[in-house]
């Protein structure tokens, strides 16, 4: 039994945290490093969760989105040829297989379990027993059902088709060539697009409703935009992969580098368009009209430079996420000094310089 747990820990759990290390570290830094008094901040946050049913529903939705990420990762790992040896677990009893999958789910879901445990404890301390029971039941059901999904997948059976059933909306009009990767995301990566947008838009909406500054300061909103950018980076990697697989001939077309780079910039502006529209909800409270250009330029420039980074070398997803975390952490500290639109402009200029230098020299290596 210990041998099986050790194997599952190494090939599924540890790899999950390794792949998402950048996201976890960045989230931890924002939640515990950004607030001036982290303890008071989280006590106030938990009190609001306990006392407000709407707030609790939003938090549960975020937990559910995190669990979708867990499910998506584990199911993909179970389908990999390198993980076929795990199917030997089917020689065990169904009870043991389910318990092993339950162990995996508890481990990857542990950050939520810990925070939910603190919320339940505080709810019991404040005699908010309804919230306490709801938090406990929600997480027990989530863990139990998810472990059953893993159990079914390990037996190569289907269970309600875990992927999202999103409608196919065909856009029948002439499509600019440089926007083809976005249509790929729209048609073939609906689940990724849906989860990313739900997180980023929900995060911005919650920020505008829950945080009211006592004086004008654009920096908190800019720091929130860093999280918005982080939620879109997986799509950046998918777009680059799609370009390499299907649009490699694009490099041979007689187009100037400036035109090519402008196409990338416009593509990411359109990708972030829902967030840019929602930003107006904070107009007059979180930013002024003169600040709007830099609020648009910063996330667009960051996505552009992340895209260009993939031309520098043969970078896999793990390496890319570490680069993203390092870049966003650096931006976090720089934004604390309120550098203004100059900072975003410098990022965009750097992205163009790197693109101009490496675009024609890049060649994907296949192992």
Tally of domains in the chain: 2
In this model, does residue 34 exceed pLDDT 60? no
Among 163, 189, 207, which residue terminates a domain?
A: 163
Residues 134 and 212 placed together within one structural domain of the fold: no
Residue 156 shares a structural domain with residue 170? no
Looking at the fold, whether 189 and 97 belong to one and the same domain comes out as no
At residue 283, the 3 state secondary structure works out as strand
| More confident of the two residues 302 and 14 | 302
- Considering the domain architecture, whether residues 54 and 158 belong to the same structural domain is answered as yes
Above 60 in pLDDT, residue 284?
Answer: yes
Residues 146 and 224 in one domain: no
- Answer yes or no: do 157 and 170 share one domain: no
User: ∠ CA(274), CA(23), CA(142), 5° rounding?
Assistant: 85
Distance CA 233, CA 196 (A): 9
Residues 276 and 174 in one domain: yes
Single out the residue in 142, 163, 184 at which a domain terminates: 163
Tokens of residue 245, six digits:
């697989």
Cα-Cα-Cα-Cα torsion 323, 329, 335, 336, nearest 10 degrees, comes to -170
Spatial distance between the Cα atoms of 315 and 220, rounded to a whole number of angstroms: 32
Tell me the three state secondary structure of residue 287.
strand
89 and 4 in a common domain:
yes
- 143 and 230 in a single domain? The answer is no
User: Could you tell me what percent of the chain has a pLDDT over 90?
Assistant: 25
Identify the pLDDT of residue 313: 83
Q: How confident is the model over 7-33, as a mean pLDDT? A: 71
Q: Of 163, 195, 213, which residue is a domain's last?
A: 163
Residue labelled with tokens 């667009």: 300
Give which of 136, 89, 98 is closest to 117, Cα–Cα. 136
* Average pLDDT value for residue range 79-103: 84
Residue 108 has pLDDT above 70, yes or no: yes
> 47 with 90, same domain?
yes
φ, ψ for residue 349 (rounded to 5)? -65, -45
What's the whole-number average pLDDT of the chain?
Answer: 82
Parent domain of 189: 165-367
* Structure confidence at residue 169 (pLDDT): 55
Alpha-carbon 165 to chain mean position: 20
Q: 145 with 70: CB under 8 angstroms?
A: no
pLDDT digits (tens, 9 = 90+) for 158-210: 444 444 444 555 555 566 777 888 888 888 777 778 878 877 887 788 788 77
Residue 365 has pLDDT above 80, yes or no: no
Q: Is residue 120 located within the same domain as residue 238?
A: no
Whether this prediction's pTM lies above 0.85 is answered by no
pLDDT score of 166: 47
Domain identity same for 151 and 57? yes
List pLDDT tens digits, range 45-90. Answer: 788 888 877 778 878 888 888 888 888 888 888 887 877 788 788 8
The band of 328, judged by pLDDT with boundaries at 50, 70 and 90, is: confident
The neighbouring-strand residues paired with 283 are 287
């Amino acid at each position: 039994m210990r041998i099986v747990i050790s194997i599952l820990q190494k090939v599924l759990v540890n790899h999950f945290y390794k792949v998402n290390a950048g996201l976890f570290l960045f989230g931890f830094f924002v939640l515990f490093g950004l607030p001036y008094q982290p303890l008071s901040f989280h006590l106030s946050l938990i009190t609001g969760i306990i006392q407000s049913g709407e707030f609790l529903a939003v938090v549960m939705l975020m937990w559910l989105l995190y669990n979708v990420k867990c499910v998506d990762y584990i199911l993909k790992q179970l389908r990999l040829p390198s993980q076929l040896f795990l199917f030997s677990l089917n020689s065990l009893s169904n009870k043991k297989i389910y318990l092993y999958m339950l162990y995996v789910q508890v481990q990857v879901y542990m950050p939520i379990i810990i925070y939910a445990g603190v919320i339940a404890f505080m709810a019991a301390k404040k005699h908010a027993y309804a919230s306490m029971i709801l938090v406990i039941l929600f997480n027990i059901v989530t863990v139990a059902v998810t472990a059953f999904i893993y159990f079914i997948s390990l037996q190569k059976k289907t269970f309600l088709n875990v992927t999202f059933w999103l409608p196919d909306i065909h856009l029948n009009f002439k499509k600019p060539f440089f926007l083809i990767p976005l249509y790929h995301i729209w048609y073939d990566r609906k689940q990724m697009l849906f989860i990313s947008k739900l997180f980023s838009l929900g995060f911005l909406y919650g920020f505008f409703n829950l945080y009211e500054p006592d004086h004008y300061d654009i920096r908190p909103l800019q720091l929130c935009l860093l999280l918005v950018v982080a939620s879109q980076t997986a799509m950046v990697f998918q777009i680059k992969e799609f370009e390499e697989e299907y649009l490699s001939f694009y490099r041979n077309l007689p187009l100037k580098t400036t035109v090519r780079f402008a196409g990338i910039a416009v593509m990411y502006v359109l990708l972030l368009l829902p967030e840019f529209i929602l930003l107006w909800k904070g107009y007059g409270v979180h930013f002024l009209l003169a600040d709007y250009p830099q609020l648009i330029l910063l996330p667009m420039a960051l996505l552009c430079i992340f895209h260009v980074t993939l031309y520098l070398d043969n970078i896999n997803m793990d390496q890319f996420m570490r680069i993203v975390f390092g870049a966003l952490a650096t931006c976090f500290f720089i934004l604390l000094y309120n550098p203004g639109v100059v900072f975003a402009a410098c990022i965009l200029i750097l992205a163009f310089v790197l693109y101009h230098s490496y675009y024609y020299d890049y060649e994907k290596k296949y192992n």
